Amino acid sequence: MIVLKTNEEIEILRENNLLVSQTLAEVGRHIRPGVTTRKLDQVAETFIRDHDAIPGFKGYQGFPATLCASVNDQVVHGIPSGYELKEGDIISIDCGVVKNGFYGDSAFTFAVGEISPEKDQLLRVTRGSLEKGVAQAVAGNRVGDIGYAVQNYAESFGFSVVRELVGHGLGKHLHEAPEVPNYGKRGRGPKLKEGMVICIEPMINMGVKEVYQDRDGWTIHTADGQPSAHFEYAVAVRKNRADVLTTFEYVDKVLNQKK
């Protein structure tokens, strides 16, 4: 069942998603060659708790950490570890919080030092595909319009779209209806209504679209070992516009300072 949110609930969700945005920026401040993904996880958990919130992922269905930290060919759900980031890596950081009874959820893929032009294009196209999808999150459209926009943009650059993992509704639960695939056909799927809050999160692979699950039961890898990127916004559906509850402004500011 799709739960429509009141304006008051949307403002709580906005506050939570802005906290996730700030957490991603704080993590981004620490991303450099030599740092472990476990260290990034500790930074995030401390930051979230210092802002009177609870990590949304830790303990969720048994997940052991605050962040999903997915490096290179890891698509999503990477478990923070003693792995030391290397120059040229890319790392997707997916983060959630719980505060005032509602969730926040967002993701950003970071470059570690200087990355190859091919990886840089993958990041830019994946982020661009998110913006294309968000533009379709308007009352009266359908979920398929979002997926079509993401897929059409990503595939136009020769990249592929993961099928097994999708976006979702967001509210008092981390994953609510409807599912929001990153592929699809225009005019298909559930109708978007004012008050829906959804997470749009393209997972785009440099190579083939197929993926597999690691023996750890969580980490998803690309089937061919090629890199994957992941960006995620929480969005409230409005009449004539998509109301993005997340911002990457904090992250972009940190990244510009590091240049």
Rg of the chain over all Cα atoms, to the nearest angstrom? 17
Residues contacting residue 15 through CB under 8 Å, at least 6 positions apart: 99, 100
pTM of the model: 0.98
**For the chain, what is the mean pLDDT?**
98
What's residue 259's pLDDT?
Answer: 81
Distance CA 184, CA 145 (A): 7
Domains of the chain (ranges; CATH) run 7-258 (3.90.230.10)
Is the confidence at residue 117, as pLDDT, over 90? yes
Cα-based torsion angle of the residue sequence 234, 73, 83, 77 in order, rounded to the nearest 10 degrees: 40
What share of the chain has pLDDT > 70, as a percent? 100
pLDDT, one tens digit per residue, over 44-67 is: 999 999 999 999 999 999 999 999
The 10 Å CB-count burial string (b at 16+, else e) for 173-190 is: ebbbebbbbbbbeeeebb
Identify any residues that bridge with 162 across adjacent strands, giving them in sequence order: none
What's residue 72's pLDDT?
Answer: 98
Band of residue 78 on the pLDDT scale cut at 50, 70, 90: very high
Strand-strand pairing, 167-169 and 90-99? unpaired
The beta-strand segments (E) located in the chain are: 54-55, 67-71, 74-76, 90-99, 102-111, 160-161, 167-169, 176-180, 197-200, 203-205, 211-213, 220-222, 228-230, 233-238, 241-244
The beta-strand segments (E) located in 9-153 are: 54-55, 67-71, 74-76, 90-99, 102-111
Distance CA 135, CA 193 (A): 14
Single-letter amino acid code for the residue at 112: V
Verify cis geometry, omega within 30 degrees of 0, for the bond prior to 80: no
Secondary structure of residue 10 in the 3-state scheme = helix
Residues contacting residue 140 through CB under 8 Å, at least 6 positions apart: 191, 192, 239
pLDDT, one tens digit per residue, over 193-233 is: 999 999 999 999 999 999 999 999 999 999 999 999 999 99
- DSSP states of 221-241: EETT---EEE-BEEEEEETTE
Instruction: Identify the sign of the CA torsion 111, 116, 117, 118.
Output: negative
